[in-house]
């Protein structure tokens, strides 16, 4: 029996046959499952506060599942796995940009769905405490970094004294890079260390999109970043 089987999963799909199949598979693994067939039902279920993960079809008849995802992201960091029959790269990237935690193209096997659910639940669990709860960039890397401050105790980031609002995963990504100034990390390494995942389970575009979002929040000019540098063909590093 997998871990996190007390986690309640919301299945959102307008196809009753697929909902029944997903219900059968997930309940067979021990998960309590809720169902919704449209956007309104999905939002109501999420607002109840009793859902731990959402499996969301990107197409809900006349409605768009990405709109539901955007609304969920306005409410918080509830994990979401998008499923889609389109298999389009642009569709997948857009879903990730809206904040999806994973993307599963149809057709998929029940075993793969369960594995994705387990992985997303595992990496969305409580974060580990680090031995140095306060990582101040000035202390790590000298005066050039004045202006950017990260407090891992309060999970707050400020730029020139102004509080910057980051999502939980955006904060984790930035804090991880700051702890190892000038060290280059590949997207695969960042998936492993920040998401507790692997590229064979999760698209590395997740990392690319989160880096883009962090840059837009902390950099004066995201196109010419001061702190998060791209090392072409390799990955990213923090420049103090």
- CATH code (residue 53): 3.40.50.2300
Class of residue 229 by CB neighbours under 10 A (exposed 0-12, middle 13-18, buried 19+): middle
Note whether 156 and 111 are same-domain residues.
no
Residue 88 pLDDT grade (very low, low, confident, very high; cuts 50, 70, 90): low
Of 89, 123, 157, the residue that ends a domain is 123
Residues across the chain: 240
The answer to whether residues 120 and 194 touch, using CB atoms and an 8 Å cutoff, is: no
For residue 130, pLDDT over 70 is answered with: no
Asked whether the whole model's pTM tops 0.85, one would answer no
Note whether 139 and 200 are same-domain residues.
yes
**For the chain, what is the domain count?**
2
Q: Which range marks the domain in which residue 52 is found?
A: 9-123
When pLDDT is averaged across residues 89-116 and rounded to a whole number, the result is 81
Per the model's pLDDT, the better-predicted residue between 6 and 52 turns out to be: 52
Query: Quick check: is 129 in a domain?
Result: no
When pLDDT is averaged across residues 95-111 and rounded to a whole number, the result is 82
Per the model's pLDDT, the better-predicted residue between 63 and 224 turns out to be: 224
For residue 142, pLDDT over 50 is answered with: no
The answer to whether residues 166 and 212 touch, using CB atoms and an 8 Å cutoff, is: no
pLDDT, tens digit (0-9, with 9 covering 90-100), for 143-192: 335 589 998 888 899 998 899 998 888 898 999 999 999 999 999 999 88
When pLDDT is averaged across residues 22-31 and rounded to a whole number, the result is 92
Of 95, 123, 151, the residue that ends a domain is 123
When pLDDT is averaged across residues 103-113 and rounded to a whole number, the result is 86
**What is the token pair recorded at 52?**
């731990």
Whole-angstrom CA distances from 13 to 23, 52, 56, 212 are: 11, 17, 7, 30
Note whether 202 and 228 are same-domain residues.
yes
d(CA 2, CA 15): 27
Pairing of strands 53-57, 148-151: unpaired
Highest mean pLDDT out of 1-5, 17-21, 58-62? 17-21
Query: Quick check: is 189 in a domain?
Result: yes
Of 103, 123, 143, the residue that ends a domain is 123
Strand partners, 103: 82
The 8-class DSSP code of residue 13 comes to: -
Query: Quick check: is 128 in a domain?
Result: no
């Amino acid at each position: 029996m997998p871990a996190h089987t007390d986690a309640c999963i919301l299945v959102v799909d307008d196809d009753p046959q697929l909902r029944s199949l997903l219900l059968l598979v997930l309940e067979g693994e021990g998960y309590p499952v809720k169902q919704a067939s449209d956007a309104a039902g999905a939002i109501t279920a999420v607002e109840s506060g009793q859902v731990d993960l959402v499996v969301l079809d990107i197409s809900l008849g006349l409605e768009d599942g990405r709109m539901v995802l955007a609304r969920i992201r306005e409410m918080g960091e509830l994990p979401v796995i998008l499923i889609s029959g389109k298999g389009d790269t642009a569709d997948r990237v857009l879903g990730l940009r809206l904040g999806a935690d994973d993307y599963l193209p149809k057709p998929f096997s029940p075993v793969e769905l369960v594995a994705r659910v387990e992985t997303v639940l595992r990496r969305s669990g409580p974060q580990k405490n680090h031995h140095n709860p306060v990582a101040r960039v000035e202390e790590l890397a000298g005066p050039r970094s004045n202006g950017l401050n990260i407090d891992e105790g309060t999970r707050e980031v400020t730029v020139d004294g102004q509080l910057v609002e980051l999502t939980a995963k955006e904060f984790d990504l930035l804090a991880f890079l700051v702890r190892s100034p000038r060290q280059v990390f590949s997207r695969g390494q960042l998936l492993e260390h920040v998401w507790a995942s692997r590229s064979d389970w999760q698209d590395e575009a997740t990392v690319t999109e989160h880096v883009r979002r962090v840059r837009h929040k902390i950099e004066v000019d995201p196109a010419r970043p001061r702190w998060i540098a791209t090392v072409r063909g390799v990955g990213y590093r923090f420049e103090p």
